[in-house]
Structure 1
Amino acid sequence: MKGIFKTLIFLFAITCFAQQTPADSITQLDEVILLEDNLPKRAVGITASSTLGPTTFEMFNPIDIASAINQVSGVYILSGALNTNRITIRGVGARTLFGTDKLRLYFNGIPVTNGAGTSTIEAYDFENLGSMEVIKGPKGTAFGANLGGAILLDTKTAFPDETRLSNSFTVGSYSMIKDNLSFQHADENMQLSFSYNHFESDGYRQNNRFERDGFLLTSAINVGSKGELGLLLNYIDYNAQIPSSINQSDFDEDPTRAAGNWLAAQGFEDNQYTLLGVSYTHRFSENSKNTTSIFYTYLDHYEPRPFNILDEFTNGFGIRSQFDGQLGKGSFTLGTELYKDEYHWGTFDNLFGENNGNGSLQGDRLSRNLEFRTQLNLFGAYSYPLTNKLSAQVGLGLNNTSFDYRDLFNSGDANSSAERDFEAILLPNFGLQYQFRDGNLYANVSRGFSNPSLEQTLTPDGLINPDIAQEKGTNLELGGAFTLFEKRLSLDFALYRMTINDLLVEERVGEDQFIGRNAGETRHQGLELDLKYALKLSQHLILSPYLSYTFNDHSFIDFVDEGEDFSGNPLTGVPKHRISSGLDLRHTNGLRLNLTHQFVDAIPLRDDNSLQSDSFNVLHAKASYQTQLSAHINLGVNAGINNLFDTNYAQSVLINASSFGGAPPRYFYPGNGRNYYGGVQLGYVF
Structure 2
Amino acid sequence: MHSGSSRSLAWLACGLGFLLPLTVVAQAAQEVVVQSGRIAQRAFDAPASVAVIDGTAVRDAGPQINLSEALASVPGVVALNRNNYAQDVQISIRGFGARAAFGLRGIRLITDGIPATTPDGQGQASTVSLTSAERIEVLSGPLAQLYGNASGGVIQTFTREAGHTPQADVSSTFGSFGLQRHDIQLSGRTGAVGLVADYSHFQTDGHRANSAAERKQFNSVLTADLQPGTRLKLVANVFDMPVALDPLGLTASQWQSDPQQAGKNALAHQTRKSVQQSQLGAVLEHQFSPDLQGQWRVYTGTRQNLQYQAGSNAALPQQGSWVGLDRDFSGMGAQLRGKQRDLPVGRLDWTAGFDMDQSAEQRQGGLTLAGEKSGAFNRNELNKASNRDAYAQLNWHLMDALGHSPFTLTSGWRHSDVRLQSRDDYLTDGQDGSGQVRYQASSPVLGLTWHAQDTLNVYANWGRGFETPTLAEAAYAVTGTGNSRSIRGLFNPDLLAARSRHLEAGFKWTPAPGSKVDAALFQITTDNEIVASLSDSGKTAYVNASRTSRQGAELTWQHAWSGQWRTLLSATWLQAQYDAAFTSTSKVGSTYTAKTIPAGNRLPGLPDQQLFASLQWAQQGASSKSRQGPMGWSSSLDWVARSALWASDMNDAASRAPGYGVINFKLRHRSAWGAHHVDTWMGVDNLMDRRYAGSVIVNQASQQYFEPGLPRQWMLGLKWSTPL
TM-score by length of structure 1 reads 0.91
Q: CA deviation at 1:252?
A: 0.9
Distance (whole Å) between structure 2 residues aligned to residue 8 and residue 392 of structure 1: 37
Measured after TM superposition, the shift of residue 40 of structure 1 is: 4.6
**Cα contact 1:65–1:126 (8 A) shared by 2:** yes
1:322 maps to a residue whose letter is Q
1:51 equivalent in structure 2: 52
Q: Which residue of 2 aligns with 1:316?
A: 329
Q: Is the 8 A contact 1:86 1:99 kept in 2?
A: yes
User: What CA distance in whole angstroms lies between the structure 2 residues aligned with 1:42 and 1:526?
Assistant: 21
The one-letter code matched in structure 1 to 2:456 is: G
- The question of whether the paired residues in 2 share the 8 Å contact of 1:178 and 1:198 is answered with yes
Query: Deviation at 1:44?
Result: 3.3
- Note the C-alpha offset of 1:194: 0.6
Q: Is 1:645 aligned to 2:662, yes or no?
A: no
Match of 1:684 in 2: 722
**Is contact 2:140–2:153 with CA below 8 Å preserved after alignment?**
yes
Compared CA separation, residues 181 and 641, structure 1 to 2 (3 A):
same
Counting only pairs closer than 5 Å after superposition, residues 65-84 of structure 1 correspond to structure 2 as: 65-83=67-85, 84=88
SS, match of residue 247 in structure 2: coil
Q: What's the counterpart of residue 589 of structure 2?
A: none
266-275 vs 608-617, which moves further: 608-617
Kindly tell me: are residues 119 and 37 of structure 1, through their superposed partners in 2, closer, same or farther at Cα, counting changes over 3 Å? farther
Q: In the alignment, residue 683 of structure 2 is paired with which amino acid?
A: G
Q: Secondary structure at the match of 1:501?
A: strand
Once the 2 structures are TM-superposed, how far is the Cα of residue 342 of structure 1 from its aligned partner?
1.0
Which residue does 2:515 correspond to in 1? 489
1:253 aligns with 2:257: yes
Alpha carbons of structure 1 residues 2 and 339: separation in structure 2 relative to 1, 3 Å: closer
8 A Cα contact 1:141 1:380, kept in partner: no
- Residue 199 of structure 1 is matched in structure 2 by 202
Q: In the alignment, which of 274, 280, 283 is matched to residue 276 of structure 1?
A: 280
Match of 1:437 among 454, 468, 491: 454
Q: Alignment partner of 2:701: what SS?
A: coil
- Out of 62-71 and 620-629, give the one that drifted further: 62-71
1:451 to 453, 459, 468: 468
C-alpha contact (below 8 Å) 2:149/2:468 kept by paired residues: no
Q: CA deviation at 1:607?
A: 2.4
How much has 1:364 moved relative to structure 2?
2.5
Shift of 1:655: 2.8
Partner of 2:317: none
| Residue identity opposite 1:428 in structure 2 | P
Return the offset for 1:656: 2.9
Q: 1:91 to 1:265 in 2, by over 3 A?
A: same
1:21-420 matches, cutoff 5 A: 38=32, 40-41=34-35, 43-45=37-39, 46-48=46-48, 49-62=50-63, 63-83=65-85, 84-144=88-148, 146-159=150-163, 161-186=164-189, 189-238=192-241, 239-307=243-311, 308-327=321-340, 328=343, 329-352=347-370, 359-387=371-399, 388-410=405-427, 413-420=430-437
Partner of 2:42: none
Q: 1:339–1:376: 8 Å Cα contact kept in structure 2?
A: yes
For the pair 1:610 / 2:637, whether they are aligned, the reply is: no
Q: Secondary structure at the match of 1:475?
A: strand
Cα distance change on mapping 1:348 and 1:535 into 2, 3 Å:
same
Residue 672 of structure 2 is matched in structure 1 by: 628
Q: 1:309 to 1:598 in 2, by over 3 A?
A: same
Name the Cα RMSD after superposition.
2.3
Q: Cα offset for 1:620?
A: 0.7
Residue identity matched to 1:628: A
Asked if 2 retains the 8 angstrom alpha-carbon contact of 1:106 and 1:153, the reply is yes
How far did residue 571 of structure 1 move? 2.2
**Structure 1 pair 464/349, CA: closer, same or farther in 2 (3 Å)?**
closer
Residues 42 and 395 of structure 1: CA distance in aligned 2, closer, same or farther (over 3 Å): closer
Cα distance, 1:658 vs structure 2: 2.1
In 2, Cα distance between equivalents of 1:372 and 1:594? 47
**Alpha-carbon distance in 2 for matches of 1:60, 1:140:** 25
- Contact 2:221–2:233 under 8 Å retained in 1: yes
1:519 aligns with 2:562: no
Q: Any conservation in 1 of the 2:199–2:217 contact (CA below 8 Å)?
A: yes
8 Å contact kept, 2:464–2:499: yes
Q: Is the 8 A contact 2:145 2:152 kept in 1?
A: no
3-state DSSP of counterpart to 1:547: strand
CA drift at 1:36: 7.8
Structure 2 counterpart of 1:200, one-letter code: Q
Moved more, 79-88 or 439-448: 79-88
Give the whole-Å Cα distance in 2 for the aligned partners of 1:257 and 1:295. 42
Q: How many residues align?
A: 656
Residue 467 (structure 1) shift:
3.6
Q: Is contact 1:566–1:607 with CA below 8 Å preserved after alignment?
A: no
Name which of structure 1's ranges 503-512 and 424-433 shifts more when overlaid on structure 2. Answer: 503-512
Structure 2 counterpart of 1:508, from 517, 534, 546:
534
Q: Structure 1 residue 561 and structure 2 residue 583: aligned? A: yes
Match of 2:603 among 571, 577, 580: 571
Provide structure 2 residue ranges, at least 5 long, that are not aligned to the other structure.
Answer: 40-45, 312-320, 400-404, 480-488, 585-594, 621-630
1:547 is the counterpart of 2:573: no
Q: In the alignment, which residue of structure 2 is the partner of 1:25?
A: none
Kept after mapping to 2: 8 A contact 1:174/1:201? yes
Identify unmatched segments of 5+ residues in structure 1.
19-29, 353-358, 660-664
The reply to whether residue 426 of structure 1 matches residue 442 of structure 2 is yes
User: Aligned pair in 2 of structure 1 residues 296, 438: CA closer, same or farther (>3 Å)?
Assistant: same
**2:626 matched residue in structure 1:** none
Q: Assess, with a 3 A threshold, how the Cα gap between structure 1 residues 606 and 260 changes in structure 2: closer, same or farther.
A: closer
| 1:524/1:176 CA distance change after superposition, 3 Å | same
Q: Helix, strand or coil for the counterpart of 1:140?
A: helix
Farther-moved stretch of structure 1 (238-247 vs 325-334) = 325-334
Sequence identity of aligned pairs in percent?
23
Deviations 1:279-334 (A, max 9, x none): 21111012221111100121011111123111111000100211111135201111
Say whether 1:599 aligns with 2:641. Answer: yes
Asked if 2 retains the 8 angstrom alpha-carbon contact of 1:110 and 1:320, the reply is: no
1:92, distance to aligned residue in structure 2 (A): 1.3
Preserved CA contact (<8 Å) 2:668 2:679: yes
**Following the alignment from structure 1 to structure 2, what is the Cα–Cα distance between the partners of residues 287 and 625?**
45
Match of 2:478 in 1: 460
Distance in 2 (alpha carbons) for counterparts of 1:343 and 1:258:
31
Task: Please state whether the residue corresponding to 1:73 is helix, strand or coil.
Answer: coil
Confirm or deny: 8 A CA contact 1:571 1:604 kept in the other structure: yes
User: Does the CA contact (< 8 Å) of 2:5 and 2:609 recur in 1?
Assistant: no
Q: Is the 8 A contact 1:145 1:447 kept in 2?
A: no
Instruction: Out of 518-527 and 319-328, give the one that drifted further.
Output: 319-328
In 2, distance between residues paired with 1:678 and 1:91? 35
Instruction: Report the equivalent of 1:21.
Output: none
- State whether residues 209 and 262 of structure 2, in contact with CA within 8 Å, keep that contact through their aligned partners in structure 1: yes
- Secondary structure of residue in 2 paired with 1:502: strand
**Paired residue secondary structure (2:473):** helix
**Pick from 513, 535, 541: which aligns with 2:561?**
535
Conserved in 2, the CA contact under 8 Å of 1:13 and 1:531? Answer: no
Aligned-pair distance for 1:35? Answer: 13
Deviations 1:431-450 (A, max 9, x none): 11111221211100010110
